[in-house]
Structure formats: C-alpha cells, structure tokens
A = this chain, B = another copy of it.
Amino acid sequence: MRNFSNDLSALALNTATLGHNLDGHGAKWPVERVIDACAERGLGGIVFWRREIGDRAAEIGDRVRAAGMRVEGLCRTPYLVGSQAPAAVVDAAQQAIDMAADLGAPVLTIVTGGTEPGTKGVIETQKILAERVATLAPYAANRGVSLALEPLNPMFGGNRTCLMTVRDAVAVCERVGAPNVGIAVDVYHVWWDTTLAESLCAAGPERILGYHLCDWLEDTSDMLLDRGMMGDGVADLRAIRTAVEAAGYRGPCEVEIFSAADWWRRDPNEVLDAIVERFRTVC
C-alpha cells in the first residue's frame, strides 16, 4: 500500500496536461521528452492518448518502464454510444484495446458518448452501453486490459456521455458484470456530487480503476478546456481523496488538466514542476 500523502510514485501525468491538444494535432514535446521529464521528477507513471502512440506502442511502453515508471493507462476508446459513435464501434474499440495491451497499459478509459439517436434521457443509452461493454470485456480481459467507465460532469450530457455520476457508472458496471470493467473518478467531473463518498464505497476497491486530479475553477470560462491546477479552484481535493481511499483505491493519482488559456500556454517544465509541488501540498 502506498503512502499517498507525499510519495511521488503515486503521481502520474496524463499527457494532455502539457498542452496535448493545443494545435489540434500533437503534443508540444515528443513522447520521449515527456517520459524523461516525468522520470527526472520522480513521477510514478504516465497516461497517454492514442494519437501519441501510433504504431510505436511496444516501444513507448518499454521506454517508460526503462525510465523506472509505469504506463498507468491509455485514453481512450471511441464513443461507444450516441450519434458520434463510429459505425464499426466494436472493431474500433478493440483496436484501442490492442493498443493499450501493446503499450502495457493496464487500463483503457471509456468516455461513453451521448444519448443514442431515437431515445431520450440516459437510461436507454446506458443499457445499450452495457451491452457493448459486455461484448468488449472478454476481448480486453484476454489482452490483460481493464476498461474504466468515466462518468463526466452532467454538462457533457447529450453529446459526450450517458454517465453523469459514479453511481451511474457503477450501475453500468454491475449490469456488465465483468471483473475487468470498472470506473475512473475524475475530480473535474465529480467534485460537486454530495453522494460521492457513498457511491464510491458502494463501488468497492475492485471497481475503482483510476483517480484523476485537477481542480474546478470558481469561474470556469470554458467547460471543456478551462480546468484548474490543483489548489486553484473550489473542489475539496482532500475530501475527495479521502473518499477514494476510504473506498479502498490504492492506484495512481493521475493529473489531467485541459487548460487552453493558461497551463497549455506555459512551458511544460513549469507545468510539471507545479504538478509536483501541488501534489505534495494540496492533494
């Protein structure tokens, strides 16, 4: 069991935090430089996005491990439901699973996509989602990959998610009933939920596959791309971490900050230094 309080080996970087999407194509830094910069600071792991990996999954995974770190996860499957899900959704998701396996990433994140065409609300879509995840779960298990359903802030309902709360995500996990299907808990998406602690306890430690750190700024100017650095917002980071730990989670704390107007404009070295300092002091 790790000591979360100060041990940087529990800290993981989600590469998007360094400005990954700023120009719509790739990262500011080559993957190799990201790996080295994380290793130099003593981080325990990295979470990549598929667009960074290309056909170099095994090579990149090996490089992370050679640097003394872990690949903690991969973002993410295509949408599995909703009007933006690809036509060959199972095939597309299996390709993402393959990439995670080749990378040596134990967890592949699922952002579900929105309400299915021809339906209203989220309940029917959650049922369809569960069917599709149930189809994917054995394939992922065979490749040593777990699937993490990530509930998103309800503002992303409609076109991006049908899971608004940890409770929603756990309900779909239970419907799927596969041992390698769980949830990812992201501060940005769950900070407001006054039932979070009880929902996490109901989930249990086996179901919690990821914990994502950032902050919710009091005045959030852009719902997608204005996440705050830990400590700069109003999320009760200590209470959320206490709840996650009380539920038995012992995995990494992954910093994932989309911040087009602020952190993405800074030197990645400055961002990494801030992450380390904030992780030690406010998380």
Contacts and interface: CB of A to CB of B under 8 A. Distances in A.
Interface stretch (A2-10, A103-111, A234-242, A260-268): A234-242
In this complex, which of A164, A171, A216, A234 has the most chain B Cβ atoms within 10 angstroms of its Cβ? Answer: A234
Interface in A59-111: 83
A158 B121 contact: no
Chain multiplicity (copies) = 2
B154 A121 contact: no
Interface residues of A, number: 38
Given A154-B154, A155-B223, A159-B219, A236 B167 contact: no
A121 B159 contact: no
A114 B217 CA distance: 11
Contact of A234 (B115, B191, B234): B115
A155 B155 contact: yes
A120 interface: yes
Contacts of A216: 157-158
B194 A122 contact: yes
Interface of A is mostly: loop
A218 B123 contact: no
Contacts of A157: 191-192, 216, 234
Contact of A239 (B121, B167, B171): B121
In this complex, which of A123, A155, A167 has the most chain B Cβ atoms within 10 angstroms of its Cβ? Answer: A155
Nearest to A228: B158
Contacts of A131: none
A233 interface: yes
Contact of A158 (B193, B233, B237): B233
